[in-house]
Amino acid sequence: MYTRSLVVALAVQASFAVASPLFERAVDFYSPSARGGSMLDNAGSGEGEPLNIIISGLSSSTVLDDAGFLNFARAIGFSTECFGIHIGDPQSANLGDGNGPVNQTIELRQDFGNANTGTCLESLLGGNHFRMYRQNGSLADSGALFLATSKEEDVTEGHTIVPDGYDIGRNELVAAAVGTTSFGGVTYSTMARNITGLLAPGSAGVNHGIAQDGIVTLLTVTII
């Protein structure tokens, strides 16, 4: 015969057992390399682009879904590709979450202040752009978004990355994001923190052989 106190204790224990998966996302991110992933995506050439910005899994949940992230991106000067036209194959990344290599969720470009057609200017003149990947597999379900960010040349140069373009792209995106921004009636407050040790500095394995400083910037985005 169970006593009342034992029944209560078992009920409490069971509730924690059921609720525990909810706490798996209470982290900024998981290091991809801890579970066989990489902080370089796969550019299809045997090399990769650095995942040099992470949107923290502790950000407001709406920011981390596809529609909410696109709205945030527009708040900081990025939008979908010119008339939805994309040239080139998607790149994949293994974030060590158990999903293996997964193609980019979306690729966004600098919109020069016009979320509707401004990315057409980026396609012609060059500018900043990024690919986004989501860490949501069963082995590391942080919900964090990993961005491969870089600044590229104009169309006459074939959209190759500018010298030091990975660091420049990261720094320009972070500068646009930090502080208070808004789009579509939603206002965001963004804080940044630089992290070392996730990404090896230098050019080894990096697409186009462009060296980068090894800094990954963590952005925590809160809807206010």
Tens-digit pLDDT profile for residues 133-180: 999 999 999 999 999 999 998 876 666 899 999 999 999 999 999 999
> In which band, very low, low, confident or very high, does the pLDDT at 83 lie, cut at 50, 70 and 90?
low
Q: How many H-runs (helices) and E-runs (strands) does the chain carry?
A: 4, 10
Q: State mean pLDDT over 185-214.
A: 97
Tens-digit pLDDT profile for residues 193-206: 999 999 999 999 99
Which of the pair, 87 or 137, is modelled with greater confidence? 137
Residue from 183, 159, 162 nearest 172 by CA: 162
CA distances from 153 to 128, 163, 173, 174, 204 (A): 9, 9, 16, 20, 22
State the DSSP code for 135.
-
Q: Where do the domains of the chain lie?
A: 25-223
pLDDT at 18: 31
- The strand pair at 216-223 and 53-55 is best described as parallel
- DSSP per residue over 154-200, as a string? -GGGTTPBPTTHHHHHHHHHHHHHSEEEEETTEEEEEEEEEE-SSS-
Judge whether 212 and 206 are in contact, CB under 8 Å: yes
Judge whether 99 and 137 are in contact, CB under 8 Å: yes
Q: Outline where 76-132 has alpha helix (H).
A: 118-125
Tens-digit pLDDT profile for residues 21-30: 333 469 999 9
**Cα 190 to Cα 90: distance, rounded to the nearest angstrom:** 28
Residue 15 has pLDDT above 60, yes or no: no
> In which band, very low, low, confident or very high, does the pLDDT at 130 lie, cut at 50, 70 and 90?
very high
Burial 132-166 (b: 16+ CB within 10 A, else e): bbbbbbeebbbbbbbbbbbbbbbeeeebebbeebb
Q: What pTM value is reported for the model?
A: 0.87
What are all long-range contacts of 148-154, with beta carbons under 8 Å and residues at least 24 apart?
148/41, 148/48, 148/49, 148/50, 148/51, 148/52, 148/91, 148/93, 148/104, 149/52, 149/53, 149/173, 150/49, 151/126, 151/127, 152/126, 152/127, 152/128, 153/126, 154/124, 154/125, 154/126
Sign, CA dihedral 57-112-206-100, equals positive
pLDDT at 86: 56
Q: How many other CB atoms are there within 10 angstroms of residue 189's CB atom?
A: 14
Residue 78 has pLDDT above 70, yes or no: yes
Query: What Rg do the C-alpha atoms of the chain give, in angstroms?
Result: 20
Q: 51: helix, coil or strand?
A: coil
